Structure 1
Amino acid sequence: MPSEPSPPAQLKDWFDEARYRSIARELTQLAPKFDAKTFLKLVLDGLEVRTLMERLHQSAVATDATLPGSFQQKVRVLQKLAPKLGHEFVTIFLGDFVATFGREDFDFSMEALRFFTVFGSSEFAVRPFIVADQERALKTLRQWTKDADEKVRRLASEGSRPRLPWGMRLSALVRDPSPTLVILEALKDDESLFVRRSVANHLNDITKDHPEFVLQLLESWELEREHLRWIAKQACRTLIKRGHPRALKLFGFGKQAEVAATLKASPQCLELGERLTLTAVITSTSRQSQRLAVDYVIHYVKARGVSAEKVFKWTEVDLPARGTLELSKSQVIRDFTTRKHHPGRHRVELQINGQRVAETMFALK
C-alpha cells in the first residue's frame, strides 16, 4: 500500500473535490454503468459545510445511489476499488457503506468488513453489527483473533472497544465488558505491537467504568514479561493520572512520595500560540530510594469562568535517597478541536504518585 500522505490543513479535506473526482474515475472503470455525474453532485453539493465524518458517510450514501446492482454486487465492485484508493482513512468509507446498507446480510457484511479493514480500518463499521447481535458478532471477532493479517486481528479488539473515539458507543459492553475478555486474552501475546496497543487501549476504555475489573485481570497476568507489563501500564494510564491507589501500587508507585518540591511557570503571562515552560525541582526527604510517577495538572479556564483540569504525563523516575531531580517541560498553548482556551489565571499543579505536592500559575491574555 502507498505510504500515507501528510494530513491536510483540515482533516476533512481528505475528502475534497479532487479526491471525489478520482473515486468517480476509478468506479467508472470498474463499473461502466456507474453514474459518475450524479455521484459528484451528491458529494460536492454542500461539501464545505460537512465535517470529516459527514463527508465519509456521504461518500457511502452517494456510492449506493449511483452504483448499479444488488448490495453484494456493489460490495464486490468496492473490493476492487479498495486497493486503488491509496489512503487508509478514505478507505474507511467502504466499511461505512457496509454498515449502512448491509445490516440485513450479516455474514456477508462481516466478511466484507474483514476484507476492507486490510486497506483502512473497519473499526467504526463493525460496531452496528455488535449492537444488532452482540453474541453473533463477537463469535466472528473471536475467529478473527487467529487471522494471518495483523489488521484483522487488531479489528477484533479495536472494533469491540466500549468507548472507541469517534465510534458508536457499545453501551452493553460499557455496562458489562466481560464478553470481550476472551478476545483480549487471545491477543495479549500477539506478535504485533499494533495489535497489543489495541488491547491496551481497549482495557483503558474499560477502566473508565470498571477500574477494579481491569486491575483484577492485570494482577493475574505475569507482569514480569515485558510486553505484558507494557500493555498493563498503557491500560492503566488513565487510572495512574487520576492517582488510583491500586493502579499506582501495581507499578511500584504505591507509596506516598517523601519529597519537597517546587514548580514554576515561565512566562507567567502569555498569549495564545506562545510556549509555556514548566520547571520542577524535586528533593527526596527519604533515606531510601523512591519510585516516582511525576505528572502535571493544568486547570484550564472555561468560558463561564470555571476551570476543568487535565493531567499530563511528565516522567517516571527512581529518585535516590536525599537526591534532587530537576525537570523541565514545555508546550505551546494553542486551541484544538477538543479544547478551546479562554483568558484568565490557569493554575498548574505538580502531581507525584497521585498526590498534588506543588503548584504555580500562568495568565493567558
Structure 2
Amino acid sequence: MAEELRNLFNQQFINELSNKIKAEQASFNKDQFQALIYNESWNELALKQRVRHITSCLHQTIALDYTEVLEVLKKVAPSFQGGLTGIIFPDYVEVYGLDHWEESMEALQYFTQLSTSEFAVRPFVVKDQSRMMKQFLLWSMHPNEHVRRLASEGSRPRLPWGIALSSLKQDPSPVIPILENLKKDPSHYVRKSVANNLNDISKDHPELVLDIAQKWYGEHELTNWIIKKGIRTLMKKGNQQALELFGFAGNSHLKVEDLLVTKTIHIGDTISFSFGLKSTDEKPTKLRIEYEINFVKANGKQSAKLFKITETVIQPGEKKIYTKKHSFNDLTTRKHYPGEHSLSIFVNGEMKVTEEFVVVQ
C-alpha cells in the first residue's frame, strides 16, 4: 500500500505542482526545483520521505518569507483537493511554521479542508501541548467536518504514520474534553476518528476508556457506534466489561463442536475450516464469534491475529454451522512462513477450541 501511495508523488504531480506555483509566483525557480527533486535517491524514497523532500526543495527555491509562501500555497492547494498529494501543503507548515503559531494554525485549518493536516499538527503538540489542546477544542466546534476531525485525529496518542505523542500516551486526560464535544457528531468521518482515538487510549488506559464507555453508552445511537468501535481492541482481548456492555456475556452454555481445519496448506493457498455452535440456555443469547490464527513469524515464533466472523443471536437449543476460508497469500502487511500454526474459535471473548495445521512452502 505505501509503495502504491508514494507513486502518487510522481513526475506528473511534480510538473503540475511546479506549474501551479509558477503561475502564482513568477519568481519561483521551477527548473531548479525539479532539478533538486530528481536527485540520485529520489526513486528509493518512501512515501513520507518523498513528501518531506518535496517540501525541502520547495523551500530552497521559492525564495519568500514563510507567511508569503503560505499565501502562494493557499492559492495552489485547491487544485489538489481531495487527494493524498494535498498533504504536501500542511507538511510545509509542519517543517517551517513552528515559530509562526497563529499563521500556521490558520493555514492548517485551511489545508485540512482540502486534504488533511493530521500529521502536521503533531509537532505543534510537542512544542506547546497546552496551547495546541486549546486549539483542538476550538476546532472540535468548527462547522466544517474536516476541521472537527482534525481536532480528534490530531490529538490521537498513537496516530499511524504520525509521530507518537508520548505525553498523551501517559496522560490522555487533555484529549477527553475534545472527544466529549464530538461524541454525537453527525459526520461519520468525525465519529470514526473519535472511535479510533478512544481505541488508541484504551491500549494504555483501558479502565479510563471503559469508564467513558459506561458513561456515554445509551446517550445516542451515534455515540453507541463510537463506543463499540472505540473499545474494539478490548473486546478482541476478551475484556468481559467491554463485551458485557454490548450484551456479549455468558459462555458456560455455549459449546463449539466438530471443528474441522485443513491440515496442510502451501503458502498462497487458502485454509478452510468449519464448526458447529450449540446453545443449551433457556433464553436467546447474543454472540460475538471470532477466530484466531497463530501465525509463524520469520524467527520461528508465533504471533496471534484475531478475525471477526459474525455477531448474531442464538436461540435456546439451536445449533449454528459456520464454514469459513482464510487466504495465505502474502500481503504487504503480512508475509507467511512455513511451520506449525493453530486456529482457535472464540465466542464472547472466550477461546472454545483449537486445532493445529501446517503451512509449507
TM-score (structure 2 length as normaliser): 0.95
* 1:14 alignment partner, SS class: coil
* 2:157 alignment partner, SS class: coil
- Residue 96 and residue 282 in structure 1: after superposition, are their counterparts in 2 closer, same or farther (change >3 A)? same
Amino acid at match of 2:319: T
* 2:84 alignment partner, SS class: coil
1:10 and 2:4 are equivalent in the alignment? yes
**Distance in 1 separating the partners of 2:252 and 2:91:** 50
- Residue 344 and residue 78 in structure 1: after superposition, are their counterparts in 2 closer, same or farther (change >3 A)? same
2:32 to 29, 38, 47: 38
**Distance in 1 separating the partners of 2:7 and 2:98:** 29
**Distance in 2 separating the partners of 1:87 and 1:291:** 41
1:296 and 2:291 are equivalent in the alignment? yes
Q: Is the 8 A contact 2:97 2:104 kept in 1?
A: yes
- Residue 87 and residue 63 in structure 1: after superposition, are their counterparts in 2 closer, same or farther (change >3 A)? farther
- 1:28 is aligned to 22
* 2:110 alignment partner, SS class: helix
Q: Which deviates more, 125-134 or 86-95? A: 86-95
How many residues matched?
Answer: 358
**Distance in 2 separating the partners of 1:180 and 1:287:** 44
1:79 and 2:81 are equivalent in the alignment? no
* 1:91 alignment partner, SS class: helix
Q: Is the 8 A contact 2:217 2:227 kept in 1?
A: no
- 1:163 is aligned to 158
- 2:99 is aligned to 104
1:192-224, Cα deviation, whole Å (9 max, x unpaired) = 111111111100000000010011011111426
| Correspondence 1:210-359 to 2 at 5 A | 210-223=205-218, 225-262=220-257, 263-266=259-262, 268-359=263-354
- Residue 233 and residue 8 in structure 1: after superposition, are their counterparts in 2 closer, same or farther (change >3 A)? closer
Shift of 1:306: 0.8
**Distance in 2 separating the partners of 1:224 and 1:333:** 42
| Correspondence 1:191-206 to 2 at 5 A | 191-206=186-201
1:22-78, Cα deviation, whole Å (9 max, x unpaired) = 211211112111111222122222221111111111111111111121011111111
Give RMSD over aligned pairs. Answer: 1.6
Shift of 1:330: 2.7
**Distance in 2 separating the partners of 1:66 and 1:362:** 59
* 1:33 alignment partner, SS class: coil
**Distance in 2 separating the partners of 1:116 and 1:197:** 20
**Distance in 2 separating the partners of 1:64 and 1:333:** 46
1:149 and 2:144 are equivalent in the alignment? yes
Q: Which deviates more, 179-188 or 41-50? A: 41-50
Q: Is the 8 A contact 1:151 1:195 kept in 2?
A: yes
**Distance in 1 separating the partners of 2:60 and 2:271:** 51
Q: Is the 8 A contact 2:2 2:46 kept in 1?
A: no
Q: Is the 8 A contact 1:204 1:237 kept in 2?
A: yes
4+ long deviations beyond 6 Å:
none
Shift of 1:273: 2.9
Shift of 1:257: 4.6
5+ residue gaps, structure 2, are: none
**Distance in 2 separating the partners of 1:257 and 1:42:** 67
**Distance in 2 separating the partners of 1:340 and 1:8:** 15
Q: Is the 8 A contact 2:136 2:178 kept in 1?
A: yes
- Residue 128 and residue 9 in structure 1: after superposition, are their counterparts in 2 closer, same or farther (change >3 A)? closer
Shift of 1:259: 2.0
* 1:328 alignment partner, SS class: strand
Shift of 1:86: 4.3
1:149-191, Cα deviation, whole Å (9 max, x unpaired) = 1000000000100001111101111001110111100011111
1:225-250, Cα deviation, whole Å (9 max, x unpaired) = 32111111000100000001111111
**Distance in 2 separating the partners of 1:169 and 1:41:** 34
Shift of 1:298: 0.8
TM-score (structure 1 length as normaliser): 0.94
5+ residue gaps, structure 1, are: 1-6
- 1:137 is aligned to 132
- Residue 333 and residue 115 in structure 1: after superposition, are their counterparts in 2 closer, same or farther (change >3 A)? same
- Residue 224 and residue 264 in structure 1: after superposition, are their counterparts in 2 closer, same or farther (change >3 A)? farther
**Distance in 1 separating the partners of 2:160 and 2:44:** 22
- 1:4 is aligned to none
